[in-house]
């Protein structure tokens, strides 16, 4: 089903899976029978998801992604390494992430870090669903399975010349914007969280 949706049709799905088209069609019918509702319907020359199919597809994609993540984790464990999936928003990723990764790698060589930048809302979803282990964000997520710890303060200063065009003198020494960066981690990764709290970072 996922292959049909993402490849654009039964023929394309069959080619990507290296099976015949009848096998793909048979599998789709088996899914309809399994769930007791039609998941895909033909519109013109294309197969489209029904409302029920969209719901099943979203869950199926999540399950398959988790399966891939689990296999990767087991591979790292077998090699004697721990994997840390770190996600940050764009501002943190552009200005702080390179220094942070170097410092963390030196302090915790037993971890292999996979970092990703993205939008805050998507990062919160990935963290809450287990697709990420740790996130550095400027907005704390409100989710029962996510631990949130204030990590550092940040400020934005207005910088300008001493005189405007009218000749008036401007002096701005106080911050016009203050924010906090928070460290977020799933509750089942407390050991990682404890390590991060002792992470020596100067920013």
Domain ranges for the chain: 2-77, 81-197
Architecture of the domain made up of 81-197? 3-Layer(aba) Sandwich (3.40)
Alpha-carbon distance of 178 to 76, in angstroms, equals 40
Joined tokens for residue 63: 């399950």
Q: What is the pLDDT of residue 52?
A: 92
**Residue found by looking up tokens 């400027």 in the block:** 138
Q: What is the pLDDT of residue 77?
A: 67
Alpha-carbon distance of 84 to 93, in angstroms, equals 16
Instruction: Mention the CATH class of domain 2-77.
Output: mainly alpha
Alpha-carbon distance of 61 to 69, in angstroms, equals 12
Tens place of pLDDT for every residue, the chain, 203 residues? 888 888 888 888 888 888 888 898 898 999 899 889 999 888 877 888 999 988 888 888 888 877 777 777 777 666 656 778 889 988 888 888 888 888 888 888 878 888 889 888 888 888 887 788 888 888 787 777 778 888 777 776 777 666 555 445 445 444 444 556 666 665 555 444 444 444 444 44
Alpha-carbon distance of 20 to 8, in angstroms, equals 16
Phi, psi of 72 (to 5 degrees): -65, -45
Taking the model in full, what pTM does it have?
0.48
Is the distance from CB of 134 to CB of 85 less than 8 angstroms?
Answer: yes
Q: What is the pLDDT of residue 62?
A: 80
């Amino acid at each position: 089903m996922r292959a049909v949706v993402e490849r654009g049709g039964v023929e394309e799905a069959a080619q990507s899976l290296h099976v015949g088209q009848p096998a793909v069609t048979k599998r789709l019918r088996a899914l309809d029978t399994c769930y007791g509702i039609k998941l895909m319907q033909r519109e013109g020359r294309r197969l489209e998801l029904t409302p029920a199919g969209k719901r099943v597809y979203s869950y199926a994609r999540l399950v398959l992604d988790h399966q891939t993540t689990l296999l990767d984790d087991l591979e790292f464990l077998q090699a004697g390494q721990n994997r840390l999936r770190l996600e940050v928003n764009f501002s943190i990723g552009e200005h702080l992430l390179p220094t942070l990764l170097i410092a963390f790698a030196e302090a915790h060589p037993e971890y292999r870090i996979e970092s990703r930048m993205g939008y805050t809302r998507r990062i919160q979803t990935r963290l809450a669903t287990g697709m990420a282990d740790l996130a550095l964000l400027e907005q704390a997520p409100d989710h029962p399975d996510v631990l949130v710890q204030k990590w550092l303060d940040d400020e934005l200063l207005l910088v300008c010349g001493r005189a405007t065009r009218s000749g008036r003198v401007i002096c701005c020494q106080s911050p016009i914007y203050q924010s906090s960066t928070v460290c977020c981690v799933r509750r089942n990764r407390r050991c990682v969280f404890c390590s991060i709290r002792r992470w020596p970072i100067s920013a």
